[in-house]
Amino acid sequence: MSRWRRSVDELAARRRQHECERAQDALSRVTSCFQQLVASLGSSADGSFLRDELDETRTVAHRICSGNAWLSCRLLRLLSDSDSAPSGVQDRQVLERLWVLFLSALEHFLYDLRKACDLIGQFPLAERSNRRLLVNTGCVDGVVGVAARVASVQLPWLTSEVEPSPDLTNHITGLETMMSEMQQRVPVAFWSVEATQPAWAEARGEPDDLVESLEDLMEVEIIAGSQKTACCGLGCIA
Amino acid sequence: MKAHFGPAQSGAYSLSRLTSKHKATSKRAEKVVLEMQDPATGVKLQPQRLVITTIPHAITGEDIVQICLFYSEARSFGSMLVALGYIYPIQDHKRLVVKPDASLYRFQTPYFWPTQQWPVEDTDYAIYLAKRNIRKKGILELHEQEQYNRLHKWMNHKWDFIVMQAKEQYRAAKERKKPDRVVFDCQERAYWVVHRPPVRTHTGMFPSLQKTFMIFTQQSIMRPRVKSSVSIGALVKYCATYKGHDPFLSKCLPSNPWLTDDVTYWALNMPNVEIPTKMRVERWTFSFGELLSDPRGRDDFRLFLKKEFSGENLAFWEGCEDLKWGTAATMKEKAEQIYKTFLARGAPRWINIDGKTMEITVKGLKHPHRYVLDAAQTHIYMLMKKVSKHVSSDSQLEQNARNRRPSLSPIIIRQQEQEQKAKMAASAPVDITQLCRFTTPVPHLAVYSGITDPPSANASPSLPFLAHTPACPSPISVALDSTSASERRAEASEGESEGNPEARASAGGNVSKSRVALSLRRLLKRGCTPSSMFASLSPKCNSAAGTSSRIQPITPDEPSQAPPRRIGNFFQIKVDIPPECRIYPIESEDEDEENRAISRERLGTKEIICPWESLTPQNGTG
């Protein structure tokens, strides 16, 4: 193969890889927001707004996951890499890593989806009387901020066809099928993938963040001389 | 092929029972929790005042206790709710108990409820720990640090995802309003206190379900495993071996009783039948266990062992079986009896087991139970098994080595018996049924029973026996190398034999010098007591044998002398007999005089050939 041809191929491969990584980031963001939403299901913060947001988030996630470009590019590359050697072992390792990360993200998302399905079934909001059963957890609001965050997610590629997003149950089954298919078609050894960051690395990061620990947040006013005994104080370690 | 229910399976069973118990409890708890939400009848809510904000929906411990009583649940129900995780303490969050005072609690959001169908995932815990790591800049509690390191090792392949997700979750949580954020953090923290407690967390209630699950999985890992190719191979081999012997899978002769209502098949295969069928004998070749479990085979083996002066082994083994399967009341005496007979020093039928096993057994006998003799029994079983193998192989070797005295394994001999019987039956169909014709309906006499050595048993001496018995003296008396000449001689001098069961005519036969096998038991049945038999073994008697006048059995009823029967070799083994053996040595007699002379002299080391009574063909004509 001519060198020009090879460099073109390499560039294309690298671009695709970057796309995958950005898609992975987007998926993480969407699933974490999804978790915040699902955590409010069945609680006093539950409501139609929450449920709508839930669906929206799900749709975005669905679009990311089933982006044909993504999947096909993954599959293609991993399958074809077994034939063509020159991209090298390192590239293959990178691809395998991405593959494993994607599958883990899918699995995690599926877990939350199932919980959501069960909770929606357990706390239907069809009638007003149902609201009485909602658990008073202390959360009252929502999730506007979270919803905004979801909306800010950018898909790494343009989807030509906008598929209608499936309802919850179908979404779950679709993901399950996709996962099992992926695992069967591409043999990737999970154990050969290694983390790029060492342990405890995340503790050192993010200096720009004002980190507030839970103890700080739970600080209680100690009113001198009052009978109030409820005191959280710094004695208890969060 | 036995199915073993190891600890893992029973663990699984108890685990499922535990989980279903938890399930029922959880359902009840959820129901009550939902009822508590009722604004009218539910529990009283109050706000929790913090510096930064006020968070509603807190409940005091007192109120919890009261409401549980109100719902006519026990006082401990409240504690159970906390232990399970439906309610969490806000202040002393590590102690999952209800303090009946003003300490505050809150309801857990349904997302964090402990429902069975949502298994607690390690991945989630890893993400939680990473999040805490970010927040607390690496300052985690000891057990959390340990868990973190462990998960980092085991989940290394998805660690990047875990960290990424932790960061994203952290950022997403920040998007929420402060009070909600506090609440969510408390909820999450409480969830993990319930499901990943540090070892000394005081739950106040049940043992953790997870601990049981951990034990279960540990046991599963330790369970021994076999490759399916290996186990399937064994299964195939078993089926191939036994296929022909299964009356449902292959044709059984004479006819399948389940189909034709003709019970001949069963009659032929009775435990105490005179002549075992060919298939039966073939079955004994499959394994030693088969031989031993078939009473007919065991009888033959017993006799063989007796010849080798090791009948006590089988007797001991049978005694052990008796102990294992017997009634509990008799166990102690049986164990003592066995000890006295077989194990004690100087016991009448002392068995030879190694020192270690003996030590264990004697120690165990201080507190006898059903299986106290298991070690010794296994030892003896293996010994017998080796012997049985040695026999057939040895006879083959003998055959190769000395053509003059070819000996066949008892199995082959029997097969030949049957074949020849069948051949002899003139116009009858070649059928095992024919064998019956050669069977004398001699009453079954159990010569040996269990432990007691029964010379006196039921060998009813008074038997028609004599005319036919060639040998009372026989088996042990003389082994004739049956050449055709001697055969014919024997035949000729054979008296009336009413239906010798032995039908065997080896005349000519397939093997020129075939021995005919005849059960010693049959022999003894004819009333030859071992003592008399042995007595006749003295050299003195032997000399008489050579001259074709018989060694007389001592029983009074014995009228005639039968000429020495043709005697077949059933087993041929070399054995060293110590001169001081209590039983008279077996002399092997050869048609060759010199050999006989030599053997007579060498009383110490003898080649022992167990002679079997020869079979007369005369009654064979059917």
pLDDT in tens, B129-180: 999 998 888 888 888 899 999 999 888 889 999 999 999 999 998 888 888 8
Query: Is residue B479 included in any domain, yes or no?
Result: no
Pinpoint the alpha helices (H) of B175-271: 178-195, 209-222, 228-242, 257-260, 264-268
Q: Do B609 and B391 form a contact (C-beta atoms < 8 A)? A: no
In angstroms, the separation between the Cα of residue A31 and the nearest Cα of chain B is 8
Q: Please check whether residue B458 is in contact with residue B521, taking contact to mean a CB–CB distance below 8 angstroms.
A: no
Smallest Cα–Cα separation from A238: which of B139, B615, B374, B617?
B139
Distance CA A157, CA B227 (A): 48
Q: How many domains does chain B have?
A: 1
Q: Where are the beta strands (DSSP E) in B112-175?
A: none
Q: For residue B485, is it within any domain?
A: no
CB contact under 8 A, A139 and B157: no
pLDDT exceeds cutoff 50 at B533: no
Residue B90 to residue A232, Cβ atoms within 8 A: yes
| Residue B398, pLDDT above cutoff 60 | no
B104-107 and B54-60 strand pairing: antiparallel
User: Closest by alpha carbon to B140, among A194, A108, A104, A199?
Assistant: A199
Cα(A44)–Cα(A33) distance, integer angstroms: 19
Please name the helix (run of DSSP H) or strand (run of DSSP E) that holds residue B512, with its range, or none: none
> Is B340 within the bounds of a domain?
yes
Cβ-contact A51, A17 below 8 angstroms:
no
Beta carbons of A195 and B160 less than 8 Å apart: yes
Rounded to whole angstroms, the Cα distance separating B206 from B84 reads 9
Cβ-Cβ contacts under 8 Å, B26 against chain A: none
- What CATH code is carried by the domain that includes residue B295? 1.10.167.10
Q: How does pLDDT run along chain A (238 residues), one tens digit per residue?
A: 578 887 887 787 777 778 888 888 889 999 999 999 999 888 888 888 888 888 988 988 888 877 655 666 666 666 665 555 455 667 777 878 888 888 899 999 999 999 999 998 888 887 777 777 777 777 777 677 787 888 787 776 655 556 667 788 888 888 888 888 878 777 777 777 888 878 888 777 655 556 666 766 666 655 444 344 444 444 444 4
Structural domain harbouring B249: 234-403
Q: Quick one: how far is CA A211 from the chain centroid?
A: 22
Residue B10 lies in a domain: no
Distance, in Å, from the CA atom of B76 to the CA atom of B206, rounded to the nearest integer, reads 12
| Residue B418 covered by a domain | no
The winner for highest mean pLDDT among B87-101, B573-587, B596-610 is: B87-101
What is this structure's pTM? Answer: 0.52
Any B CB within 8 A of A210 CB: no
* Residue B211: inside a domain: no
Q: Is A230 helix (H, G, I), strand (E, B) or coil?
A: coil
Residue B66 dihedral angles phi and psi, to the nearest 5°:
-60, -45
Interchain contact, A214 vs B52, CB within 8 Å: no
Residue type, A1: M
User: CB distance B148–A35 less than 8 Å?
Assistant: no
- Cβ atoms of B452 and B511 closer than 8 Å: no
Q: In what order do the strands lie in the sheet with B54-60?
A: B46-49, B54-60, B104-107, B87-89
What is the ipTM score, two decimals?
0.86
CA angle B310, B313, B316 (to 5 degrees): 145
> Rounded to 5 degrees, what are φ and ψ at B155?
-110, 30
**Both tokens assigned to A28:** 């993480």
Task: List CB contacts of B70: < 8 A, sequence separation 6 or more.
Answer: none
Whether B273 is covered by a domain: the verdict is yes
The predicted pLDDT at position B535 comes to 38
- Per CB-CB distance under 8 Å, the chain A contacts of B92 are 236
Let me know if residue B375 belongs to a domain.
yes
Burial of B309-318, coded b for 16+ CB within 10 Å and e otherwise, reads bbbbbbbbbb
Residue window 491-510, chain B: list those with CB within 8 Å of chain A.
none
Identify the three-state secondary structure at position B105.
Answer: strand
Q: Select the residue of B50, B152, B187 nearest A220 (Cβ to Cβ).
A: B50
> What's the distance, CA A137 to chain centroid?
24
φ, ψ at A145 (rounded to 5°): -60, -40
